[in-house]
Every structure is written in C-alpha cells, then in structure tokens.
Amino acid sequence: MGRAQQQKEKELQRDVARLVQGALPGVEVLALELTGKDRFCVFVDHPQGVDHALCEQVTAVLRPYLDSYSVEVSSPGTDRPLRTREHFEQVMGRHVRLKTETGKARGAVVAAGERSVQVANGDGPVEFSYEEIVRANLIDEGM
C-alpha cells in the first residue's frame, strides 16, 4: 500500500469513526481497511459485544458512503486491530503483529506511551511511533 493510499485510509477511518461514534454511543470504530479501490471494511466493538443487529445499525449510519463504496462491517475477531495507546495498554504482555512504513515486526507489547509502543522479541524491545504503524493486530496465541 502506497503512502497516498495509507493517507486516504487514515482520513476515511477518522471520518467514519466520527460519524459512527456520534450516531451510536458506545460503539468504537477500531479500524478501517481499504480492501479495494471502492471497498472498505470497518471493524467495530461495543462493551456488550458485536452482533448482526449492531453491524446492520453501523451499515445504516454509513449509508452516505454506499454510493461510492462497498462497505463491510465486522467485529474485531481474535486478531483484533490495535490503533491507539489504549488498545495497546489493553493487550500488555500479549503478542502483536505490526506492519510499519518500513517493515514488519512481531513481539510482546511491553510498554505503551503517549506517542509510541514498545514491542519485545528475541532481540529485545523495539519502539514504534503510532504514526509509523500502518497496521497492528493482536496475534491469536492459541494458534
């Protein structure tokens, strides 16, 4: 994914999150992934869980995007997307997979600060700024 595509995805996620979270209190937009030129998937969570009815409600809120995009709404699943400091704090000590602007990394989350997260693998902790992270996901440790 090129830098322009990454920027478009970030802007779209910000706009979609603002729309969804404003219309549906308690719903958190965890991530948005462009899966094609005119297609995106939005991952949502809710304190009471995500069911089909909630996905339908989110889709209805996203109606303004349906002329330009094919939209999929999904729960985070076992490989939960991680985007914010709070997300990384919730999975402290667990293993994650990161894709950055310059490469990939895997390891256990050992610190989550205001601007960066530290992930430790066999070579010790490595720090990544949230800005440089393109994608981050929890690794299902049962696999």
66 with 13, same domain: the answer is: yes
The closest of 64, 52, 76, 51 to 20, measured between CA atoms, is 64
96 with 42, same domain: the answer is: no
Residue 34: inside a domain: yes
Task: Give the structural domain span for 40.
Answer: 3-74
CA distances to 25, 61, 84, 93, 138 from 78, rounded to whole Å, are 24, 25, 17, 16, 7
92 with 70, same domain: the answer is: no
**Digits of tens for pLDDT over the chain (143 positions)?**
677 888 888 899 999 999 999 999 999 999 899 998 899 999 999 989 899 999 999 999 999 999 999 999 999 888 889 989 999 999 999 999 999 989 999 999 999 999 999 999 888 999 999 999 988 999 977 54
| Alpha carbon distance 110, 74 (integer Å) | 28
69 with 10, same domain: the answer is: yes
User: Model's pTM, two decimal places?
Assistant: 0.76
| The domain boundary residue, chosen from 50, 74, 98 | 74
Residue positions counted in the chain: 143
